[in-house]
Amino acid sequence: MLPPRSDFPADFVFGAATSAYQIEGSGAGGAGLSHWDTFAATPGNIADGSDGRVACDHLNRWPEDLDLVRDAGFDAYRFSASWARVMPDGVTLNPQGMDFYDRLVDGMVERGLKPFLTCHHWDLPADLAALGGWQNRDIAARFADLCVALHDRLGDRLASTATLNEPWCIAWLSHFLGHHAPGLRDIRAASRAMHHVLLAHGTAVQALRAEGAANLGIVLNFETAHPADDTPEARHAAEVQDAIYNQWFIRALMGQGYPQAALEGIGPHLPAGWQDDMALIAQPLDWLGVNYYTRRLYTAAPGLWPHVAEAPGPLPKTQMGWEIRPEGLTEFLTRLARDHTGALPLYVTENGMALEAGQDVTADARRVQFIGDHLRAVRAALAQGVDVRGFFYWSLLDNYEWAFGYGPRFGLVHVDYDSQTRTPKQSWHAFRAMLAGGDA
Ligand code: FCB
């Protein structure tokens, strides 16, 4: 059961989220290659050897997809623009690419949906990746140019603009853990990316403000890091993990400086003079986006910093193997307000679960339960006085789940990738009933 809409403030925004590379089909429309195209073209990087060249063919099917958002009764749609579509070489404007987003945003407005744009959700142009990507300080100016170009064309109709989606994934997951493009495992590359991604954000916010852009934010991901046992070693490992994942970005953004427990390993590899960038990084924001999925358990690992190893957890899991722990969402929302963001409005910009499709592809009662439990977790934070303004389900459609390929299904709507047929699941119907004011 989903809680009734009336449990939330009258202007609370309900939405569905997607990202460009995961749904559009990267191989058409005059787009350049992104580093996800080239990463996916390298054997061994993607579980099922697939890529996003076709994905959900949203590039052609977007009217039907926006109809699905509207018909569920959502207020808003969170989407991202593909940098390589808008600027194939990362610098030069592709009018055809910009025209696509112009039509898409018009399509949202026509359907009464508030457009929530994310300027970058991971599909970095391959030409910029070849210049070092997030390791190269120049990325900050390139990224600000992208944001300004998007604002100049779309800004008059946007309800909200996020600079980046999940800088932890852009920097750490992709340059230290090697799971995402560009697939590096290098502490120096990762440390530079950890700083430049924030520098890019600050530079872009400053440039956007100069253009008169309003309602600016950034989307961060948070994941509960618990010690696997009661030893001081495990507790320390969980603290280091928490510092790298849950504190690095929000502290810098709020002018609180990088956390010491993370600086221990990252500090020696930061670009010289990084301290001078901290004021630019801490630009005033209008809201913060919070993505929350799971918690993980940690133990100490021998050897090199950060001395952190993951241990299996006991809770029920999603198709991703991620533990389901709704109270973690309440904890993060209250912790953020208390320790970092104060009165800044928060949005849950992503939350959702992957679930295998059964014989009946619409049967996803477990997802309805998951969503209901997480919405109740948001309500608990609201009851404690946290200013949460909205909730976006990840994702509208089953789509390309990055290095996991097309296996995990996160959608409210099932996608048959052979025929591209969309079929709303029970969870989509549950949202529709709830948002219409009835029982879900
Ligand atoms: C988030 C990403 C999104 C999707 C979900 C499952 O980390 O922002 O693109 O992969 O996880």
The structure tokens listed for 289 are 């986006």
Cβ-proximal residues to 4 (8 Å cutoff; 6+ apart), any chain:
434, 437, 439, 440
Is the beta carbon of 223 within 6 A of some atom in ligand 1? no
In the block, tokens 């600050």 appear at 202
Q: Which residues, in sequence order, are CB contacts of 281 under 8 Å at separation 6+? A: 198, 199, 201, 202, 252, 253
Q: Is the CB of 75 under 6 A from ligand 1?
A: no
pLDDT: which is higher, 1 or 270: 270
For the segment 316-326, the average pLDDT, to the nearest whole number, is 98
> Which residue is catalytic, options 24, 166, 223, 323?
166
Burial group, residue 57, by CB count within 10 angstroms (0-12, 13-18, 19+) = middle
Determine whether the shortest distance from the Cβ of 402 to ligand 1 is under 6 A: yes
Under 8 Å between Cβ of 194 and 258 = no
Q: Residue 254 pLDDT more than 60? A: yes
Query: Ligand 1 in contact with 82 (CB < 6 A)?
Result: no
Nearest CA to ligand 1 atom 9: 19
The mean pLDDT value for 160-166 works out to 99
Locate 101 and state its tokens.
Answer: 């987003």
Counting atoms of ligand 1 from 1, which one is nearest the CA of 352?
6
Indicate which atom in ligand 1 lies nearest the CA of residue 410: 6
**Burial per residue of 281-311, b for 16 or more beta-carbon CB atoms within 10 angstroms, e otherwise:** bbbebebbbbbbbbbbbbbbeeeeebbbbee
H-helix or E-strand spanning residue 202 = helix 187-210
Give the mutation target among 122, 291, 374 for probing the ligand 1 site: most ligand atoms within 8 A of CB.
291
pLDDT(439) > 90: no
416: amino acid identity, one letter? D
Active site residue 239: no
The per-residue pLDDT for 17 is 99
For residue 70, pLDDT over 70 is answered with: yes
Can you name the CATH fold of 5-435? TIM Barrel (3.20.20)
Q: Which atom of ligand 1 is nearest to the CA of 19?
A: 9
Task: Decide: 210 and 291 in contact? Cβ < 8 Å.
Answer: no
Looking at the CA of residue 354, tell me the nearest atom of ligand 1: 6
Among 331, 335, 311, 334, residue whose Cα is nearest residue 323: 311
Nearest to 221 by CA among 134, 349, 375: 349
pTM more than 0.85:
yes
Output the CA 405–ligand 1 centroid distance in Å: 12
Q: What is the 3-state secondary structure (H, E, C) of 2-41?
A: CCCHHHCCCCCEEEEECCHHHHCCCCCCCCCCEHHHHHHC
> Is the Cβ atom of 123 under 6 angstroms away from ligand 1?
no
Rounded mean pLDDT of the chain?
98
> Is 165 near ligand 1, meaning CB less than 6 Å away?
yes
CA 305 to chain centre: 27
Q: What is the pLDDT of residues 342-387, one digit of tens each?
A: 999 999 999 999 999 999 999 999 999 999 999 999 999 999 999 9
**Catalytic site residue 350?**
yes
Q: Give me 264's structure tokens.
A: 């221990």
Residue 56 pLDDT level (bands cut at 50, 70, 90):
very high
How many whole angstroms separate alpha carbon 65 and alpha carbon 391?
Answer: 19
Residue nearest to atom 4 of ligand 1 (CA): 401
Domain map (residue ranges) of the chain? 5-435
Ligand 1 centroid – CA 166 distance (Å) = 8
Among candidate residues 24, 239, 331, 350, the one labeled active-site is 350
Residue 291's pLDDT band, with cuts at 50, 70 and 90, is: very high
Q: Is the CB of 398 under 6 A from ligand 1?
A: no
- Residue 418's CB is within 10 A of a number of other CB atoms, namely 6
pLDDT of residue 438: 63
Decide: 283 in ligand 1 pocket, CB within 6 A.
no
